[in-house]
Structures are given as structure tokens and as C-alpha cells.
Structure 1
Amino acid sequence: MTASDPATPASHASGKTSPALEQLLSRASRDDLVAPAPEGQTLETILAAALRAPDHGRLRPWRYVAITGEARPAFAHEVLAAIDRQEPELPEKKREMRFARFSTTPLVLALGMHLQPESPIPVWEQEMAVGAAAMNVLNALHLAGFGGKWISGKFCDDPKLRESLGLKGDDRLAGFMFIGTPAGPRPVPGRPDPKAYLAFWKPGARVSFPVDRESAQPG
């Protein structure tokens, strides 16, 4: 491809980073989420971006359940019941925090996985497709001016909780996404140097990663 090819962004030829990519580099999980959350066509567009994720075999393994409005406190009680069954040792303070988060976050999105073990596509690839779609949701939220945080826990393995979300049989729950509008600006957290996690394969040479070489150094 050349710089004139429509599939090659001009920023590649010039060495500059596109504005959209620059914006993605500032994405971070947010706890301080307030109304509004995306709804209607905006939410559908964000989920349309999610479904652009790689999907080997076109199995469409993702299943989303939105919990909004007056349904949130009722569902928060379902979550507490699942926690009591799966994590009875969880401190009361953390139980209260979970209840508050599930009952007040503008939009809670359950990330279901409709897995097909009988498919020639390995289950782990199906799970990866769901994970890739979830990351697309987070990126699309950020680009649209919203914020999100993906959480999970032992309670997500609770059969009754999964059943309440319409998940059956081999279906699983990849967690929940808390979604809303960031309450205000926040410094972008630092990120690792990508070069530390990149290696180039060469014939006859042993592949090693800078980050692993650094961790092997004596303290």
C-alpha cells in the first residue's frame, strides 16, 4: 500500500499520530461515573463498535444485558446474594461498596459469553472474542466522551446470577462494565513503555523481551 491508498492513513506516511489515536492513548478506567450514560442510538453505536472485534468462525459469542434506572437496586441485591454464596468471607465494607456501585452507576452492562464447546473453534478463542469486544466498548465509550470500568470477581461464576441474566448451559459471565460520564478531568495515568514488550524475530536468534531482561537483573 502507498500513502495514496485509502487504506493507509495519511498519518502513517507523515509519521504523525492521528487525533483519534492520540485520544485513545488517554483512555483509562474511571470510578467517578455520573449521569448521563449512553442510551438509544448512541449505545447501539457503541455496541456496533464492539461487534467489530475479531470473531473466528463468526460464532457471535457476546451477550450484553443492560441494567438501568429502577432495575439497578434490585439487581444489586442479586449481586449481593451471589457474593454471599461465592465469597462469604468478603468483608462487609466491600459488600456495601459493591451494592452502592451496582445500584447507583448510571449504566451497568453485563458481559455474557455464549460459548459453544462443540464448535471446532476453541473455547479460549471464543472467550478472547468477547474480551476483544469489551475492549472495543471501553475505547468507543472514551471516544464518545463517556467513561467505563470493567470489573469481575468470584460472584460472576454464580449459576443463579448467570441465570438471572439469561445465561444458560455453557454460557459464562465475563464480568460487568460500569458506564457513565467522568465527573471531571483527571491526570492520565502513566503507562509502560511499549518497546519493553516488543521483540523482533530474526532467523537463528533467540527471542527475548526487554521487560524480561530488566526483571532478571539483580536488585
Structure 2
Amino acid sequence: MFDLTFPGPNEIELDSMLAIATRVPDHGKLAPWRFIVFEGEARARAGDAIAAVFAIDNPEAEPERTTLERNRLCRAPLVIAVVSRAAPHAKIPEWEQTLSGAAACTLLLLAAHAHGYAATWLTEWYSYDPRIRATLGLSDAERFIGFLYIGTLARPQEDRPRPALADLVTRY
């Protein structure tokens, strides 16, 4: 879904969405996640970092592919990265902290739709690359949970096929 165009959320809407995203289960009140907002020229600067790493790893790549990598965060007016800060804790397992971050992604996605925008949650190759994580300001211990692309639909979208509930639900 990259038929996302302007307008994107304004500052008040963005703050509201981020506030909603923080209202997740958070055992121990650790806030084991944080957000990085990419808007305006910041999307292009981050894209330059992604393209540079891609070019190092793929010196034979066609220029069009490098351009595609450079424009990854320009596919929507607003991109928000959700970063996991899950860490060892005496009482709260790291996996539970990571799930709290995933819940923040989910609420952010729903908040964007509730504000009248379209949004999609992606993790692509650059989410896992340690060089890009460092360039975009993550510590060695932090990981991207996802990048949420938010904007206005340029055209109606068809929903993808979903599994039948009968295949997913067991009654005990």
C-alpha cells in the first residue's frame, strides 16, 4: 500500500496519535519502546542512509534500485519508527517488553485510521541492518519493531485476503 499522499497528520493529530500509542499494556511501567518521527526532509536524509548501505552491499545494483532504496521513507508524508528498548529485568521478561512495543505499533496504526488517515506497518531489510540502526540513532541494544507509514489514500484500496475465523478460532 504505497498510494499514500499528502496531507499527513498535523502536529496536534500526531501528538494525539503518539499519546494513544503509549496507552498499551506495560508491565512495570518501563516504557520499553520509543518513537522516531520522520517527516519533511528527515525522510530523505534517512533514505540517503538506507541507500548508502544498500549501495555498499550491492555495488552492481541498477541505479533505479538505489533510487528506490533512497525513497523508502518518502512513500508517505509521515513515517514513525517504533523502537524496542526491551532489556533484561528481574520481573518483566524481555519478550513481554517487546510485545508492549508491538502493541504500541498496533495502537499507532489504529490511531492513524481513527484520525482519518491510512497507515501501514512495515519491517523491511533496513529494519534489521545494524549500520542503519546506528545511523538512525538506535543503541546497540535497541531494535526496530516497525515503521508506520501514514498519509492520505490517493485511491481506494482493496483489502487483502484474510484467513477464515474457523481456521483460527478454537472453542475450549
Q: Shorter-chain TM-score: which interval? A: 0.7 to 0.9
Deviation for aligned residue 1:175? 3.0
Contact 2:123 2:147 in 1 (8 A): yes
Deviation for aligned residue 1:146? 0.6
Of 123, 131, 134, the residue aligned with 1:160 is 131
Match of 1:57, SS state, is coil
Query: In 2, distance between residues paired with 1:193 and 1:166?
Result: 41
Task: Give the structure 2 partner of residue 206 of structure 1.
Answer: none
Taking only the aligned residue pairs, the percentage that are identical comes to 33
Amino acid at match of 1:127: T
Q: Between the two structures, name the one with larger relative contact order (CA 8 Å, sep ≥ 6).
A: 2
Match of 1:150, SS state, is strand
Match of 1:56, SS state, is coil
Task: Give the structure 2 partner of residue 181 of structure 1.
Answer: 152
Of 52, 74, 77, the residue aligned with 2:23 is 52
Match of 1:59, SS state, is coil
Change (3 A) 1:155 1:90: farther
Please tell me whether residue 68 in structure 1 is matched to residue 34 in structure 2. no
Task: Give the structure 2 partner of residue 196 of structure 1.
Answer: 167
Deviation for aligned residue 1:84? 4.3
Change (3 A) 1:90 1:39: farther
Deviation for aligned residue 1:54? 1.5
Deviation for aligned residue 1:69? 1.0
Amino acid at match of 2:109: L
Task: Give the structure 2 partner of residue 101 of structure 1.
Answer: 72
Query: In 1, distance between residues paired with 2:43 and 2:78?
Result: 8
Of 86, 109, 112, the residue aligned with 1:115 is 86
Match of 1:177, SS state, is strand
Change (3 A) 1:164 1:49: same
Q: Unaligned stretches of 5+ in structure 2?
A: none
Root-mean-square deviation (CA), in Å? 2.3
Give per-residue Cα distances to partners, 1:58-108, cap 9 Å, x unaligned: 2101211111112222210111223345x5499545443232232352112
Amino acid at match of 1:178: Y
Please tell me whether residue 151 in structure 1 is matched to residue 109 in structure 2. no
Q: Unaligned stretches of 5+ in structure 1?
A: 1-29, 202-219
Q: TM-score, normalised by structure 1?
A: 0.69
Larger radius of gyration: 1
Of 111, 126, 135, the residue aligned with 1:140 is 111
Task: Give the structure 2 partner of residue 82 of structure 1.
Answer: 53
Change (3 A) 1:165 1:47: same
Contact 2:2 2:75 in 1 (8 A): no
